[in-house]
Amino acid sequence: MSKPRIHVSKCLGFGICRWDGKEILNGFIEKLKTEIEFISVCPELAIGLGVPRDPVRLVYKGDKLYFLQTNTKKDLTMAMKNFADKIVGSLARIDGFILKDHSPSCGISNVGVYPSLTSKEPVSMTNGFFASQILKRFPETPAITEKMLSDDKKREDFLDKIFKSTNIWK
C-alpha cells in the first residue's frame, strides 16, 4: 500500500538550510517519517541562496507583491515564481503540505507584508511567497505548518485527510 506523499519544508528535520543556519526538529514530524513519503524542499536554497544568508521579506510596491532580500536588496520575485512553477509541474501526486510557520517563503497566512525593505511594521499578513504559489495550484490539498501540528484538532484533521486520501488510515 502506498504511503501518503507529503511536501515538507526542508528545514523541518530534513537538512540545515535556514537563513541563520539553525536546524529545527519537530517531534511529531520525526515520528511520521516511517509512515509518510516526505518530499523535502527548500525553495530559498533552490533559487541559489546560501546558508547562512541575508533574510528575505515580502514587500508591496504599488499593487504588486515582491520577494526581496533585505540587505542585498536583490529582487528574487521571478526566481521564486519560476521555481514554484517547476515544483508544481513535478508534483504528479501529492497528498499534503507541511510548511514552516512564519517563513516569508513557506509560511501559511501569518507572514508579514511590508511597505518597504526597512519598515519595522507589516501592513498585512499573507502566505509566504513560495507557499502562495503552490497552494493556489493545489487548493484542495491539505496544508498545515509545524506550529499548527501542535494543535490537537488541526493535527487530527490533517492526518485524517492525508491518510484517507491514500486509504490506509486506521
The residue ranges that bind ligand SF4 (CB under 6 A) are 9-11, 17-18, 42-44, 100, 103, 105-106
105 vs 126 by CB, closer to ligand SF4: 105
9 vs 141 by CB, closer to ligand SF4: 9
> In whole angstroms, how close is the CB of 6 to ligand SF4 at the nearest point?
14
Contact 142, 158 (CB under 8 A): yes
16 vs 164 by CB, closer to ligand SF4: 16
44 vs 95 by CB, closer to ligand SF4: 44
> In whole angstroms, how close is the CB of 45 to ligand SF4 at the nearest point?
6
